[in-house]
Amino acid sequence: MTTKASTSRPSYPQVVLQRGRDKNIRARHPWVFSGAIASVKGEPALGETVEVRSEHGDLLGMGAWSPQSQIQVRLWAVGRATIDRAFFAEKIQAALKQRQALGITARNTAYRVLNAESDSLPGVIVDKFGDWLIMQALTAGAEHWKQTLAELLMEQLPCKGVYERSDVDIRKKEGLSTTTGLLAGEMPPACIDILEEGRHYRVDVLNGHKTGFYLDQRDNRSAVEHYAHGKTVLNCFSYTGGFSIAALKGGASKAINIDASQTALDLAAQAAQLNGFTSEQMENIQGDVFQLLRQYRDEGRQFDLIILDPPKFAENKSQIEKAARGYKDINLLGFRLLKPNGLLFTFSCSGLMDSNLFQKIVADAAVDAGCDAQIIRKLDQASDHPTRLAFPEGYYLKGLICQK
C-alpha cells in the first residue's frame, strides 16, 4: 500500500501529513482535512493532482488539491497511480459494469452512473435521463477534470449529450462559482420522459432539483407501490409526484400531493397523464406542508398511507438540534393523520442525521401522538447510489415504514 519516494518517478506537489494522521488514509478513507496537514511541498493549483505522504515520506495516495476547503485533499487513488484520461476511463467503466450487473440499466432509462466518493470519483455526480447525462462537479478535482469526464462518458455510454448542473452552493466551499451549461454533445430538452420500474415520469433536467429527479428513492417508490393497493395516500413534500405515481401503479384509490412548488406539481400532473391516471385519482395541492397537515389534523382527516420526504433539514452539525425538532413535528402530525393500521413512510436525506437518532425522533413522535407504532421495514438509497465501505459519509438517505 505504501512506497518510498523514488527519484525516477514524475514529480508532483506533495502534501505531507502530521504525525499519526495517516490512519484514515491507510484505511482507504478518501478525505484529508486541513488540520491533518503538516506541510505542502510545491505550489499545486486548484484541483491539481498531489501526492499525499506520511511524516516518514510513505506515499499514501494521489488526490486533488483544494486549498480553500476544510477537506484540502480528496483522494483519487490509494498508493501510486497516474491520474490521467486512462485512469478516469477505467473508473467510469467499472461503475457502468456495476450498474449493469445489478440489472438497473436493463429495467430503467434513468439511473445514477457515477456516485462521487463511493465510485472513487470524489465530487463527481452523473445521472442518466434517457439519452442525456446530467453532471454535477462539486469539488475542485471534479471541476479540473470535468471536460475529460464528459468526453469519456460520451464514448463509453452512448448518449446525445452531457449537460452540467453545478448550480449548488457547496462549490463555494471549494472556491468555485456555481455554473450550468453543455459540456459535450447536444443540448437536452427542458424535460425528458423516463421509465423507472414500469413507471413513467417527466423530468426537468435544466431547472429541477439537483439533476432533476430523486433517483435515490427508486427502490422506496417500489416499496410504496407494493403496499398501496386500495389505500388513500398523502404524499408530503411530493416534488413531481414520484411516490404518488408508484402508489397509483400499486392500486391506490387516491393520491394527494402537497408541495410548495407549483412547477413541480405541474410535472406531477403530466406524469399522471403519462401513466394513464386521471385528475380524480391524483390531486395536487400547492402549499406549506406543516400548515396543511395541522389543518387536516384539526379537520379530523385521516389517510391509509402517508409519505414524509422532506428536504434536508441539516446542512451542518450546528443545525442538528433544529433538524431534530423539524422531524419530530412532521412525524407527530403524520402519526395523528394515520388511520389505525395505516403506514407511515418517513425519510431523512440529511447525511448528518444518524440513523439511530432518526429512529428515536420518530419513536418519540409516535409516543406523543399516543400510538404504539411498529417498524415493519427500514429503507435507504437505491443500489446505484452505493456506499463505499471505507466512506460511511456516503450513506445519507434513511427511511422507516411504520405501522400505526
How does pLDDT run across 34-60, given as a tens digit for each residue? 999 999 999 999 999 999 999 999 999
> First and final CA of the chain: distance in angstroms?
52
Q: Which three cell numbers stand for residue 253?
A: 384509490
Q: Dihedral of CA 354/360/366/369: which sign?
A: negative
Antiparallel, parallel or unpaired: β 303-308 and 338-348: parallel
Cα 374 to Cα 402: distance, rounded to the nearest angstrom: 5
DSSP H or E segment with residue 9: none
pTM exceeding the 0.85 threshold for the entire prediction: yes
Give the list of residues 6+ apart from residue 253 with CB closer than 8 angstroms, or none. 230, 231, 232
| pLDDT tens per residue, range 59-108 | 999 999 999 999 999 999 999 999 999 999 999 999 999 999 999 999 99
- Of residues 320, 254, 258, the one with CA closest to residue 291: 258
pLDDT of residue 9: 58
Under DSSP, is residue 343 helix (H, G, I), strand (E, B) or coil?
strand
- Of residues 403, 282, 245, 279, the one with CA closest to residue 335: 403
Residue-by-residue DSSP string for 272-338: HHHTT--TTTEEEEES-HHHHHHHHHHHT--EEEEEE-PPPS-SSGGGHHHHHHHHHHHHHHHHHHE
The residues carrying an active-site annotation are 349
Give the Å distances, CA to CA, from 201 to 106, 212, 231.
17, 11, 22
- Of residues 382, 379, 392, 397, the one with CA closest to residue 216: 382
pLDDT averages per 10-residue partition of the chain, 404 residues: 48 94 96 97 96 96 97 97 96 97 94 98 98 98 98 96 96 95 97 97 96 97 98 98 98 98 97 96 96 96 97 79 89 97 96 90 96 96 96 96 97
The pair phi, psi for residue 107, each rounded to 5°, is -105, -10
Under DSSP, is residue 157 helix (H, G, I), strand (E, B) or coil?
coil
